[in-house]
Amino acid sequence: MRRFPIELAPPDIGPYRQGNTGVDYVHVLDSGRPGPGVMIQALTHGNEFCGAIALDYLFREKLQPAAGRLTLAFANVAAYARFDFDDPDRSRYLDEDYNRVWGDDMLLGARDSAELRRARELRPFVDAADLLLDLHSMHEPCRPIMVCAKSEKSVALARRIGMPADLLVDTGHPAGLRMIERNAFNDPASPKAAVLIECGQHWETSSAQVAIDTALRFLKVSGAVPAAWCDARLRLAPPPAQRVIRVTEPVVARTMNFRFARDFGGLEVLPSRGTLVATDAGAEWRTPYDDCVMVMPSMTHLKPGTTMVRLGRYS
């Protein structure tokens, strides 16, 4: 497994433990005026702290909504608390991936884990949100990606936000439902929408500014925060254009013998159909078409049932 330099300092989120909701690390800022329910979540994974830097920034800038209610939440704080510079991937989660437990079958079921308990605490806030932004980062170096799940309305929201350049419509994860796919967010008949931004490699300095700027642009388009307040704090120029990558199939590990054919870069385009992508206990995956996009290939979290890469094409 490749190791990458840790250029960012994990912020002290202790001052944000006691909010005003009765749930640790969850704050609801109420404008007292009609408007949308807007939510930003950081630390879905405990080693992805660019989102925590972004929320810390918003708090220090004394953010206040002008309309509706704004929820700011630090999610898997228990995993974040055990972050170790010598083993930074260990703090991704405690028992299971917090971003695979958002189906009612899991949240309302009898099974227990640290991540399920935390998701159950945050479920009322997620379900109350009209618009939601989930701040993430990636293990491998890659330019930022906005994940829109399977939802065209999320693509539309990402286009209004205006960044990043690459928007992803994918097939989900076989291991479980992500938060942005929960209930109304995935219902074409509902106006509710959610997006997930992968801000770059976990610990690159640039990922923090991507998280901050994306949060500001999201707040601006939500109508919850005055546009001038957001515009005055933007630091990154938007891309000249945005393109949609549509995933046609995930490559899911069957055994611990899964191996990529070679090292692939994030969003690398393989020009020829039939190019070998990976092998696993006698099985082969090859590109199903020309100009196949490799979406977030990584060996970091290898185990049976884990999506190792998604194969897609620009549309």
For residue range 228-263, what is the model confidence (pLDDT) as tens digits? 999 999 999 999 999 999 999 999 999 999 999 999
Cis? peptide before 164, omega within 30° of 0:
yes
Give domain status of residue 92, yes or no.
Answer: yes
pLDDT at res. 174 = 82
Give residue 301's pLDDT band: very low, low, confident or very high (50, 70, 90): confident
Does 253 share its domain with 171? no
Mean pLDDT confidence for 119-135: 98
**Per-residue pLDDT at 217 exceeds 90:** yes
Spatial CB neighbours of 146, under 8 Å, sequence gap ≥ 6: 158, 161, 163, 164, 166, 167, 168, 195, 196, 197, 198
Does 220 share its domain with 268? no
The radius of gyration of the chain from alpha carbons, rounded to an integer in Å, stands at 19
SS3 content of the chain, % helix, strand, coil (to 5): 25, 25, 50
187 C-beta neighbours (distance < 10 Å), count: 12
Mean pLDDT confidence for 276-288: 97
Does 223 share its domain with 106? yes
Does 75 share its domain with 174? yes
**Per-residue pLDDT at 1 exceeds 80:** no
Does 223 share its domain with 77? yes
Give residue 16's pLDDT band: very low, low, confident or very high (50, 70, 90): very high
Does 213 share its domain with 268? no
Does 220 share its domain with 287? no
Instruction: Quick: pLDDT tens for 70-118.
Output: 999 999 999 999 999 999 989 999 999 999 999 999 999 999 999 999 9
* Residue 286, domain CATH: 2.40.50
Beta bridge partners of 243: 166
Does 186 share its domain with 298? no
pLDDT at res. 202 = 96
Environment class of 196 (CB within 10 Å of its CB; exposed 0-12, middle 13-18, buried 19+): buried
Spatial distance between the Cα atoms of 175 and 185, rounded to a whole number of angstroms: 19
Residue 227 gets the label, from left (phi > 0), alpha (psi -120 to 50) or beta, of alpha
Judge whether 65 and 11 are in contact, CB under 8 Å: no
Does 224 share its domain with 257? no
Q: What is the mean pLDDT of the chain?
A: 96
**Per-residue pLDDT at 10 exceeds 70:** yes
Residue 147: phi, psi to the nearest 5? Answer: -90, 120
Number of domains the chain is built from: 2
Give domain status of residue 1, yes or no.
Answer: no
Spatial CB neighbours of 111, under 8 Å, sequence gap ≥ 6: none
Give domain status of residue 196, yes or no.
Answer: yes
Of 186, 201, 231, the residue that ends a domain is: 231
Does 133 share its domain with 278? no
**CA nearest to 197, candidates 167, 234, 227:** 167
**Per-residue pLDDT at 226 exceeds 80:** yes
Of 201, 231, 261, the residue that ends a domain is: 231
Of 184, 204, 231, the residue that ends a domain is: 231
Domain that holds residue 286: 248-314
Does 257 share its domain with 293? yes
Does 50 share its domain with 117? yes
* Residue 39, domain CATH: 3.40.630.10
Judge whether 295 and 247 are in contact, CB under 8 Å: yes
Instruction: Quick: pLDDT tens for 140-182.
Output: 999 999 999 998 999 999 999 999 999 999 988 888 999 999 9
Spatial distance between the Cα atoms of 113 and 94, rounded to a whole number of angstroms: 8
Beta bridge partners of 195: 133
**Per-residue pLDDT at 2 exceeds 80:** no
pLDDT at res. 36 = 97
